Amino acid sequence: MILGVVKEGRRESPFFRPESLPAMRNTSYWVFFVLIALLAGLQYRLWLGDGSLAQVTQLKQQIADQQGENQQLKERNRILEAEVLELKSGMETVEERARHELGMLKEGETLYQLAE
């Protein structure tokens, strides 16, 4: 067992000397301020910096919006592809479009237009 030196009625530890106290205080203040600065820097990066929580939330919203738009475009492409296949395979669709969009008639047909 290590016993400390008894000086002026009190026992002193061999590991702690009162004369080293001012140097330890100065060092501990620096360590404290460095740790506070480090903590502040990490908090800044977490809340406001690159890759912050706000930015991650915004990017997740953009991804959701883009996925919704992609789904709509896929549906539109599916409809257009079905229409193209129908136009390639059958003449009924071509005839129907020619009648409705271009106002064309077959030979011998008469068009009656009613005005309201």
Per residue in 39-84, pLDDT tens?
A: 998 888 888 878 788 889 999 999 999 999 999 999 999 999 998 8
- C-alpha angle 47-48-49 in degrees, rounded to nearest 5: 110
Using CA atoms, how far apart are residues 4 and 17, in angstroms rounded to an integer?
A: 11
3-state DSSP call for residue 11?
A: strand
Token pair 């059958």 is found at: 90
Here the tokens at position 58 are: 């915004």
pLDDT tens string 16-47: 565 655 666 678 888 889 999 999 988 888 88
